[in-house]
Amino acid sequence: MPVIVVANPKGGVGKSTLATNVAGYLAAQGHAVALGDADPQQSSHLWLGLRPASARPITAWDVGDEGVAKPPKAASHRVLDTPAGLEGKTLNEALKRADKVIVPLQPSVFDIFAARAFLDRLAEHRHAANVQVGIVGMRVDARTHSAEQLERFVDGLGFPVLGYLRDTQNYIHLAAQGLTLFDVGTARVARDRAQWQGICDWLDA
């Protein structure tokens, strides 16, 4: 019953987009998925409220007001969206429950250095708790110098880059309907689904 935590202490990097689409992918694979939202903005929780009854079910994980409450036992897979400024008790509880941590990271020097202390902590925690950590480049073209810079940086920490996701309105339009890339026909989002292949393989491993 894996717990996948999506985390980066910097705001505006695409955590909720990543968390909802991870949940959508797992649901599309036939898993019983619960999605938790520890962010005060409650973007993932709002998205769940928009999800149509015709879509594959994803249940809410009530994480509580302090720390991170235990995930629902009925779910076979749990996804946790976390807030900006993740630290203290919430960070400790999230990492304690995590089997896998995905870090969305934009490939700018400012974003990289803003997340550096967090990534250093994850590097230490990974060895102590056998947690798998992967990086996803957000709003990036894999062919650019920025993408190469990001890959060199995380390679020094021993983290794999699972994929690079482009900046597209597809995520915005689907989120407004409570949907993900994995809830619609492949032809409509073929390019984006292809960019997710490495992420999906890592989730399935």
HEC profile for 11-55?
Answer: CCCCHHHHHHHHHHHHHHCCCCEEEEECCCCCHHHHHHHHCCCCC
pLDDT for the residue numbered 189: 96
Decide if pLDDT at 192 tops 90: yes
How far lies 89's CA from each of 38, 63, 67, 84, in Å?
12, 13, 5, 14
- pTM here? 0.92
For residue 88, what pLDDT is reported?
Answer: 74
Q: Give the pairing type, strands 58-61 and 33-37.
A: parallel
* pLDDT recorded at residue 9: 82
pLDDT at 66: 64
Give the pLDDT score at 128.
Answer: 58
* Domain extent for 142: 3-204
Counting the structural domains of the chain, the total is 1
Dihedral sign, Cα of residue 174, residue 198, residue 148, residue 145:
negative
Q: Give the least confident one: 30-34, 50-54, 66-70, 157-161.
A: 66-70
At 47, list the tokens: 């998205």
The enclosing domain of 158 has a CATH number of 3.40.50.300
